[in-house]
Each structure stands twice: as C-alpha cells, then as structure tokens.
C-alpha cells in the first residue's frame, strides 16, 4: 500500500479502496464507490443522472433511483470532506448531473476513458464481491418464497428492506452491513413485479422500536425484511426474515441445518447464510 504522492486522496482500483493523504483507508460502501470510480473515469466531464442509473443499476430495475443517487453522492462528499456549496471534488450541475473536478490520485488498474456498457461486466475485487454474493443468495431465497409462498392477504407486490443490524460487536463492521443492505435492496428491485422502497427511505429505521406492521404502514408496503450480520475473522453469518406487514405473521428461528429454514406453522420465512472466506 502506497501513500498518495499528489493530492489529498488516493483511489486504489486493485484494492477497491479510497485512502487519505496519510494512507488511512476511508470507508465507502460499494454503490458510492462504484459511482466515484465512474465519475473519476470521466473526470472533468458532465455525468448525467441517466448515465449513473445505467452504470449502477442497469436497465429494468424498479428501485427508486433518485434518492439512491442522492444518498451515494452525499456519502462520496462525506468521504472526501467536500461541500456541495463550495465543491473541491464533486460538482453538481443543476438539473443535469455531476462532474468530478478533484485532485485525486488513481493507482492500480488503468482508469477507462469511456464507461463500460450498462451490463457492468467490470470485475470487482474480492473485497467487493463478498457482499454481492451474499446479497444475491439472500435475494434468490426471498424471491423463491415471494413466488411460491402462500400469503393470506394475497401476493406481496411491495417491500422494504430495513437496515441489517451489525451484531459483530465491532462498530467498524457497520459499513459491511450497510453495503449488504444496499445490495439486497438492488437485487430485489430486479424482480419486475415487485416495488422496492429505496434505501434512503428506510435509513430512519436503523435503530427503530416500532412494530413491523407500523413500519409497513408508514412506508406503504405489503412486507418488510429485517435481519442481521455477524462478521468475525473469515466467517460471515447473515440472517434475514420476511414479514408480511398486512398479516403481522413472524417466524422465529428453529433448530435446523442447511442454508435456509422455515417454521411449519408460519407463513413468512427466515433465511440464514453462513460463509467462510
């Protein structure tokens, strides 16, 4: 790992890291990181919001992209200690999009002059692929249940993913839980028949004390997903639970083995995944 030779920040594409001038890593979730890389690839040029949507989500995604973009921009500015009023790195072009104007050193893989097609085939580093893989597994399990499950109030057509709780005992792992929440939201949004509430709209429920029914009503959704992440060393355990807010039926974990389990007397599933890197 090298310290930036110029500027205040360094973007290491091989390590998938953003570092300050003193070499300290700045934590940034996958979505803001992908946006930052895209903006840096087109440094000095206007990047429209439509281009950001195509790069980050692709076509046919039913997620609320407007608040998601705003949230990612806010996190980039926080990481770079930038100000929207007097930007030194990320400039807003009102009504159009954004332009990266900062003095940021890029190391590792060569920065592309033009962005890849919306398919986003650029291979991510291993550190970034883990939350993607976990989220994909969770989303697949939940999608199967949404398609095959029997719900007393009819099919679930709208859903909200609450922030996954970090139960690792290490506050520093909060970024991993946040990134996994983002990825799970994005994966579920790819189900064409399902409306998924944006991550920004669910942030206020990070430390909630409300019932799932109340949250479902406040967000105007049929169902809510809540869960937790435990990461210790090279082990990661993720638990997620789908709750039908219309019927307020929940399932507690029972003694079971395998990747997923479901109690026989409930209509909502709980899933857990345990991986070793």
- Report whether pLDDT(78) > 90: yes
Per-residue pLDDT, 150: 52
pLDDT band at 141 (very low <50, low <70, confident <90, very high): low
Q: How far does CA 41 lie from the centroid of its chain?
A: 21
Q: What is the pTM of this model?
A: 0.51
Taking residues 114-133, report their average pLDDT: 48
- Report whether pLDDT(128) > 50: no
Angle between helix 49-56 and helix 65-80 axes, rounded to 10 deg: 90
- Report whether pLDDT(258) > 70: no
Taking residues 71-99, report their average pLDDT: 93
How many other CB atoms sit within 10 Å of the CB of residue 30? 24
Per-residue pLDDT, 182: 81
Per-residue pLDDT, 145: 54
User: Which domains does the chain show, CATH number per domain?
Assistant: 9-107 (1.10.10.10), 126-276 (3.40.50)
- Report whether pLDDT(257) > 60: no
- Report whether pLDDT(177) > 60: yes
Q: Which of 59, 260, 61, 242 is nearest to 155 (CA)?
A: 242
Per-residue pLDDT, 76: 95
SS (H, E, C) the chain: CCCCCCCCEEEECCCCEEEECCCCEECCCHHHHHHHHHHHHCCCCEEEHHHHHHHHCCCCCCECHHHHHHHHHHHHHHHHCCCCCCCCCEEEECCCEEEECCCEEEECCCCCCCCCCCCCCCCCCHHHHHHHHHHHHHHHHHHHHHHHCCCCCCCCCEEEECCCEECCCCHHHHHHHHHHHHHHHHHHHCCCCCEECCHHHHHHHCCCCCCHHHHHHHHCCCEEEEEEEEEECCEEEEEEEEEECCCCECCCCCCCCCCEECCCCCCCCEEEEEEEC
Per-residue pLDDT, 147: 53
pLDDT digits (tens, 9 = 90+) for 193-208: 788 888 778 888 887 7
Instruction: State the Cα–Cα distance between residues 27 and 24, nearest whole angstrom.
Output: 10
Taking residues 55-72, report their average pLDDT: 73
pLDDT digits (tens, 9 = 90+) for 209-254: 888 888 988 989 988 888 888 877 767 788 878 888 877 544 434 3
- Report whether pLDDT(14) > 90: no
- Report whether pLDDT(86) > 90: yes
- Report whether pLDDT(93) > 60: yes
**Mean of all residue pLDDT scores within the chain:** 74
Per-residue pLDDT, 62: 52
């Amino acid at each position: 790992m090298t310290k930036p030779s110029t500027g205040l920040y360094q973007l290491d594409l091989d390590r998938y890291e953003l570092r300050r001038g003193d070499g300290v890593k700045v934590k940034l979730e996958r979505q803001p990181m992908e946006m930052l890389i895209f903006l840096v690839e087109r440094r000095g040029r206007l990047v429209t919001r439509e281009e950001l949507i195509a790069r980050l989500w692709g076509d046919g995604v039913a997620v609320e992209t407007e608040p998601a973009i705003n949230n990612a921009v806010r996190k980039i500015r926080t990481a770079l200690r930038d100000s929207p009023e007097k930007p030194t790195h990320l400039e807003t072009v009102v009504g159009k999009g954004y332009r990266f104007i900062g003095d940021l050193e890029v190391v590792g893989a060569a920065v592309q002059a033009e962005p890849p097609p919306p398919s986003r085939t650029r291979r991510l580093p291993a550190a970034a692929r883990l939350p993607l893989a976990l989220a994909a597994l969770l989303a697949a399990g939940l999608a199967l249940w949404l398609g095959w499950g029997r719900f007393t109030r009819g099919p679930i057509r709208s859903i909200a993913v609450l922030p996954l709780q970090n139960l690792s005992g290490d506050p520093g792992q909060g970024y991993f839980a946040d990134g996994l929440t983002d990825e799970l939201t994005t994966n579920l949004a790819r189900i064409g028949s399902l409306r998924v509430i944006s991550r920004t709209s669910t942030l206020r429920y990070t430390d909630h004390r409300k019932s799932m029914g109340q949250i479902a009503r406040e967000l105007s959704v049929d169902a809510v997903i809540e869960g937790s992440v435990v990461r210790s060393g090279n082990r990661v355990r993720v638990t997620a639970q789908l709750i039908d807010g219309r019927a307020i039926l929940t399932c507690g974990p029972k003694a079971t083995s395998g990747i997923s389990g479901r109690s026989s007397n409930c209509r909502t599933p709980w899933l857990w995944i345990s991986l070793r890197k």
